[in-house]
Amino acid sequence: MANPVLIAVLLLPLGVFVSSLWGVFRNYRAARTIGLPIIILPISLTNLLWMMLVRHVMPLLERLPFGSGYFTRFCYTGWEFKDKSRAHVEFGDAFTSVTPGKNWVYLCNADAVTEIIRRERQGEFARPVEMLAMLDVFGPNLSTVHGKDWQRQRKCTTATFNEHNNALVWDESRRQAHQMLEYWMSAGESGTRTTADDVRTLALDVLLFAGFGKSFDFKGSKTKEKSTGPLSYRDALALILENAVPILAIGPKVLQRLSFVPGLGRLGQATIEFKQYMVDMLEENKHATDIQGTQANLLTSLVRAAVVDKQLSEDEVFGNMFVFNFAGHDTTAHTLAFTFVLLAVYPEVQDWMAEEINNVVNNNGSEQLSYDLFASFPRTLAILLETVRLFDPLLSLVKVSESRPQTLTIGDKDHTLPTGTQVLLNLNALQTHPKYWGDDGHDWRPSRWIKAGSVDGQEELITPVKGSYLPWGEGLRACPGKKFAQVEHVAVMVAIFREHCVAPVKLAGEDDAAAKKRTLDVVNDAGMVLLLQMFHPEKAALQWRKRV
Ligand code: HEM
């Protein structure tokens, strides 16, 4: 008699194949009703197994002599980064990608995007919170709730993102940046390869100071000791953020049960200790609930909302403590990393920025540049705006036509999107499309942001076409940390580039052009992990020196 286990093993792939085929057939029929160009993909981009295998399998498939059609171009999360606006130049402002799981409408039309964001306020489109449900690891939070719960949480959490807090972000970012620069300078001619790790440290320290009132001195990656004992709050959080993929995928409870698996034990322990620290912080701050207005930070506001106003549960306090760290950390850190490496490749941009910083110092008659001067640095801000335009940490925003079909005008045609259609606002394409950014839209050129013909020598930033530039989202769910991130980035640049400059370390026999090209390859060898990041930032050795 045939072995039932063997039969099951043989039937499983057949079952997966048939169910995928059926999924594609069903979704294809729905996609045809939308009336947009269609691309068919045999695997869902959000299939967990595929997400784990894709980085190993794709390089092999790319070598196939007969090509793979659209498969290697579109069948992985984050394909938008490499493709930029090309798919939309080829297929039009919108197209439907049919997969066995869902249909995805990719959209790169500024008017239609603006319309979706407007209709999000009326509940016609929404952020599909189930996609973010894994962020609930420590409790429900702003990113994972909808409707009235979201309104309540948003009110309790975002009031502290004010000018007083921005001034704290500014001062702490400058303090951290000076310490980080000292560390980088100490590397001498061999340069530093730890830029990406170091800016993560800086970003966490700034967040902990401005959001949670905890102050740390900057520690360079190579000077950190590996501890095996109990973790500090900072180190537990750092470990959790560094290992967010397995923690979010497996969840802390299962992780803690898997402590016998090498590597996972320490992570499980970090989640327990981090939770305990949050409980302690909540307890400690319960007596400080009279702190209000300008003195409040995110932590005191959360505690006040829970203890005095009874607007948040304790779990919601923990959930938000985690999610603000999560949402505010790697977004800013990866952006800083891209900027530093790009600046090393383009010394003329460093000079352009240093000129602005020195003008502000001279006009101000002091080196003590305070937050009041933030608006005097349009060029320095332009560098951030240009980095996130091309290296958008999220690459896209997903909105869903939740409860009923929605008609959307794209160009001069109306399209009806069936209930549940996921619309992907393709930020990376919108932010590089020649229609909105000209023929050099794929190039990193911060000066594009400065308006021609400045009045009284005061340069101003351009305003992009509405709907064509959304790295921080817009409308209802727009990022509450936008100004925080901008202040941090500008403060770090101002602190570092006034008197210092950076260049790639040259390999033996390499000239300047070859070293720059090799470094630019490191920047472009990037893709989606949880956010967009360089895969091997350590390959870019950067040498810091004082300006002459
Ligand atoms: C370069 C830095 C950053 C970028 C590019 C960025 C981008 C974004 C984007 C695109 C969204 C989603 C908008 C939408 O769905 O429409 C978002 C949401 C969010 N961001 Fe940021 N962000 C950054 C920094 C920060 C910082 C520094 C914080 C906090 C300190 C933060 C906290 C949040 C939170 C809590 C949400 C969820 C908001 C909600 O659902 O109501 N972000 N961010």
Q: What ipTM did this prediction achieve?
A: 0.99
Alpha helices in 63-162 (DSSP H): 71-74, 79-83, 86-91, 110-120, 147-158
Distance 479 CA to ligand 1 centre (A): 4
The encoded tokens of residue 354 equal 């240093």
pLDDT of residue 1: 58
139 pLDDT more than 80: yes
What percent of the chain lies above the pLDDT cut of 90? Answer: 59
Closest residue by Cα to atom 41, ligand 1, is 477
Ligand 1 in contact with 327 (CB < 6 A)?
yes
Q: How far is the CA of 358 from the centre of ligand 1 (A)?
A: 32
Is 381 a member of any domain? yes
d(CA 137, CA 322): 9
Cα–Cα distance, 43 to 77 (Å, whole number): 11
Domain count, the chain: 1
Question: The domain that contains 278 carries what CATH number?
Answer: 1.10.630.10
Note whether residue 465 is domain-resident.
Answer: no
Q: Give the global pTM.
A: 0.92
- The confidence score (pLDDT) of residue 445 equals 98
On whether residue 179 sits in a domain, the answer given is: yes
Q: Of ligand 1's atoms, which has the minimum distance to the CA of residue 127? A: 15
CA-based R_g, the chain, Å: 24
Strand 422-425 relative to strand 103-107, pairing: parallel
Higher pLDDT, 411 or 301: 411
- Look at residue 378 and tell me if it is in a domain: yes
Check residue 483 and give its pLDDT: 97
Rounded mean pLDDT of 81-107?
95
* Confidence (pLDDT) at 296: 77
Split at pLDDT 50, 70, 90, the class of 348 is very high
The mean pLDDT value of the chain amounts to 90
Ligand 1 site, residue 484, Cβ cutoff 6 A: yes
Ligand 1 atom nearest 478 alpha carbon: 13
Work out the average pLDDT over 144-166.
90
How far, in Å, from the CA of 109 to the mean position of ligand 1?
Answer: 22
Q: Which atom of ligand 1 is nearest to 399's Cα?
A: 15
Q: Cα of 56 to ligand 1 centre, how many Å? A: 30
Count other Cβ atoms within 10 Å, centred on residue 194. Answer: 19
pLDDT of residue 293: 59
Which atom of ligand 1 is least distant from the CA of 154? Answer: 41
Out of 133-137, 355-359, 490-494, least confident range? 133-137
| Over residues 415-429, mean pLDDT | 95
* pLDDT over 80 at 435, yes or no: yes
C-alpha torsion 200→205→210→216, nearest 10: 180
DSSP 238-267: HHHHHTHHHHHHH-HHHHHHTTTSTTHHHH
Q: Give the model's pLDDT for residue 411.
A: 94
pLDDT at residue 243, rounded to an integer: 85
More confident residue, 67 or 361: 361
Between 272 and 382, the more confident residue is 382
Query: What pLDDT was estimated at residue 289?
Result: 62
Q: For residue 506, is pLDDT > 70?
A: yes
Residue 226: its pLDDT value, please? Answer: 65
**Confidence band, pLDDT 50/70/90 cuts, at residue 491:** very high
Contact 547, 500 (CB under 8 A): yes
pLDDT at 68: 66
**Domain membership flag for residue 254:** yes
Does 334 contact ligand 1 (Cβ within 6 A)? no
- Ranges of H-type helices in 121-230: 147-158, 163-185, 195-212
Residue 143 CB less than 6 A away from ligand 1 = yes
Q: At residue 208, what is the residue type?
A: L
Residues 493, 349: Cα–Cα separation, whole Å: 12
The per-residue pLDDT for 4 is 77
Higher per-residue pLDDT: 227 or 37: 37
Q: Which tokens hold the place of 113?
A: 């995007």
- pLDDT number for residue 29: 93
Residue closest by Cα to atom 27 of ligand 1: 328
> What's the CA gap between 450 and 453, in Å, rounded?
9
Helix axes 347-364, 482-497, angle to 10 degrees: 90
Would you state the pLDDT for residue 492? Answer: 98
Please indicate whether residue 399, judged by its CB atom, sits closer than 6 Å to ligand 1.
Answer: no
Nearest-atom number in ligand 1 for the CA of 320 is: 35
pLDDT at 82 over 60: yes
User: Would you say residue 71 lies in a domain?
Assistant: no
Query: Is 161 a pocket residue for ligand 1 (Cβ < 6 Å)?
Result: no
Whether 228 has a pLDDT exceeding 70, the answer reads no
pLDDT of residue 221: 85
Q: What range defines the domain where residue 365 resides? A: 151-394+471-546
Q: Residue 237's pLDDT band (boundaries 50, 70, 90)?
A: confident
Is there a binding annotation on residue 501? no
Contact 444, 346 (CB under 8 A): yes
Asked whether residue 454 carries a pLDDT value surpassing 90, the answer given is no
User: Given a cut of 60, is residue 294 above it in pLDDT?
Assistant: no
Average pLDDT for residues 8-22, to the nearest whole number? 79
Query: 279, 280, 257: which is closest to 269 by C-alpha?
Result: 257
Which segments of 292-419 does DSSP mark as H helices, in order?
298-307, 314-345, 347-364, 378-390
Residue 250: band (very low, low, confident or very high) from pLDDT cuts 50, 70, 90:
confident
The count of residues in the chain is 548
Tokens 């370390």 belong to 505
Minimum CA distance residue for ligand 1 atom 40? 143
Q: Phi/psi of residue 252, each to 5°?
A: -60, -35
Distance 207 CA to ligand 1 centre (A): 13
Check residues 292 and 193 and name the one with the higher pLDDT: 193
Atom of ligand 1 nearest to the CA of 335: 1
Region of poorest pLDDT, from 10-24, 196-210, 334-348, 416-430: 10-24
Separation of CA 263 and ligand 1 centre (Å): 30
Ligand 1 in reach of 152 Cβ (< 6 A): no
In a domain, 39, yes or no: no
Pick from 143-157, 202-216, 369-383 the range whose average pLDDT is largest: 369-383
Q: Give residue 331 CA to ligand 1 midpoint distance, Å.
A: 8
127 lines ligand 1 (CB under 6 A): yes
Task: Give residue 476 CA to ligand 1 midpoint distance, Å.
Answer: 12
Low-confidence winner among 13-17, 172-176, 401-405, 441-445 (lowest mean pLDDT): 13-17
The phi, psi pair for 542, rounded to 5°, reads -115, 135
pLDDT for 180 equals 98
- Name beta bridge partners: 543: 503
Per DSSP, the residues of 142-164 read TTT--HHHHHHHHHHHHTT-SHH
Section 158-163 average pLDDT: 88
Least confident of 3-7, 200-204, 438-442, 478-482: 3-7
282 lines ligand 1 (CB under 6 A): no
Is 209 domain-assigned? yes
Residues 99/38, Cβ–Cβ less than 8 Å:
no
| Predicted pLDDT of residue 69 | 73
pLDDT, residue 177, reads: 98
Across residues 200-205, what is the average pLDDT?
A: 94
Tell me: pLDDT of 128 over 90. Answer: no
Mutate to test the pocket of ligand 1, among 397, 479, 483 (most ligand atoms within 8 A of CB): 479
pLDDT grade for 227, boundaries at 50, 70 and 90? low
pLDDT at 545 over 60: yes
- Least confident span in 166-180, 210-224, 393-407, 413-427: 210-224
pLDDT grade, residue 254 (50/70/90)? confident
